[in-house]
Structure 1
Amino acid sequence: MNLLYLTVLFPLIGFLLLAFSRGRWSENLSATIGMGSVGLAALTTAMVGFDFFANGQQAYTQALWTWMHVGNFDMKVNLTLDGLSLTMLSVVTGVGFFIHMFASWYMRGEEGYSRFFAYTNLFIASMVVLVLADNLMLMYLGWEGVGLCSYLLIGFYYSNPETGKAAMKAFIITRVGDVFLAFGLFILYNELGTLTFR
């Protein structure tokens, strides 16, 4: 199960490649990178899932690194796999792959083809972080990533004023929710002294 981090890494690499290409690559190459990175994440999910069931469905935490250490507060980047997170991970990567496959045909010829796949790859990576996060702080970062990608995808056709308004409305509404979620995290840490789920 030490492959768990690849479910985040593959879509993230796809996002970085597509973002730094700045639309200079062909549609075929952009679609291949976009679909391929999510497809590899889905394949990794299947391998991790097989291993999970072969080992008696034991919950597993993969420690990656400590992001920050301040006094008694440790912000660790850990991924946790259990039955629920495996189910959601399968949905995110599996359905995400089919969405990318459909979009490779549907978006063909549209301006910003490569940019679209960059956004959707970042969206998948953020959802995977949200699903596998071991603590509320990392989950919050995944949540913020999903909110950012929602804004970017809703406003994809930014030359149309209506989509710009819809994107801004979604952005503002999710930011209001984010503020209350952040307050909730502060209260939980103040009361419990930890933000980990276990």
Structure 2
Amino acid sequence: MNMLALTIILPLIGFVLLAFSRGRWSENLSATIGVGSVGLAALVTAFVGMDFFANGKQAFSQPLWTWMSVGNFNIGFNLVLDGLSLTMLSVVTGVGFLIHMFASWYMRGEEGYS
């Protein structure tokens, strides 16, 4: 289930690469990085979903760090996967991928696209 973090990390890497390139790369490379990062996140979501159902639909929680700790009261930052979060993750990454594909086609040739 460590692949769950990739659904967040892959689009973030794509954002950082595109934000710092600022027109230095070709339109094709920019579109490939943008669409590819979100597409890979959608693909990883599909693999995480298959793993979730193969393991008997067990809820999964991966603690990342403790945000706040006061006495015995701790507020942690966790990645949690259950049926509802998997559904939302699938919708967000799937629709996000389709939006990126459409936007890369629609904006092609516009000034400042890459």
Q: Same fold (TM over 0.5)?
A: yes
- Describe how 1:77-88 pairs up with structure 2 within 5 A: 77-88=77-88
TM-score w.r.t. structure 1 length? 0.54
Could you tell me which residue of structure 2 aligns to residue 107 of structure 1? 107
Unaligned runs of 5+ residues in structure 2 are: none
Letter in 2 for 1:9: I
Q: What per-residue deviation string (whole Å, max 9, x for no partner) do you get for residues 102-138 of structure 1? A: 1111011123324xxxxxxxxxxxxxxxxxxxxxxxx
Q: What per-residue deviation string (whole Å, max 9, x for no partner) do you get for residues 62-85 of structure 1? A: 12223x444335443211111111
Letter in 2 for 1:93: T
Separation in 1, partners of 2:75, 2:23: 36
Could you tell me which residue of structure 2 aligns to residue 41 of structure 1? 41
Separation in 1, partners of 2:50, 2:38: 18
Q: What per-residue deviation string (whole Å, max 9, x for no partner) do you get for residues 18-46 of structure 1? A: 01112211111110000110011001100
Letter in 2 for 1:52: F
Could you tell me which residue of structure 2 aligns to residue 62 of structure 1? 62
| 8 Å contact from structure 1 (residues 65, 78) kept in 2 | yes
Could you tell me which residue of structure 2 aligns to residue 90 of structure 1? 90
When you count strand as a share of all residues, which structure comes out higher? 2
Separation in 2, partners of 1:111, 1:63: 43
Separation in 1, partners of 2:56, 2:50: 10
Separation in 1, partners of 2:29, 2:38: 14
Separation in 1, partners of 2:5, 2:99: 22
Could you tell me which residue of structure 2 aligns to residue 7 of structure 1? 7
RMSD: 1.5
Separation in 1, partners of 2:74, 2:17: 32
Distance 1:85 1:108, change over 3 A: same
Aligned residues: 113
| 8 Å contact from structure 1 (residues 4, 62) kept in 2 | no
TM-score w.r.t. structure 2 length? 0.90
When you count helix as a share of all residues, which structure comes out higher? 1
Unaligned runs of 5+ residues in structure 1 are: 115-198
Secondary structure at the aligned position of 1:111 is classed as: coil
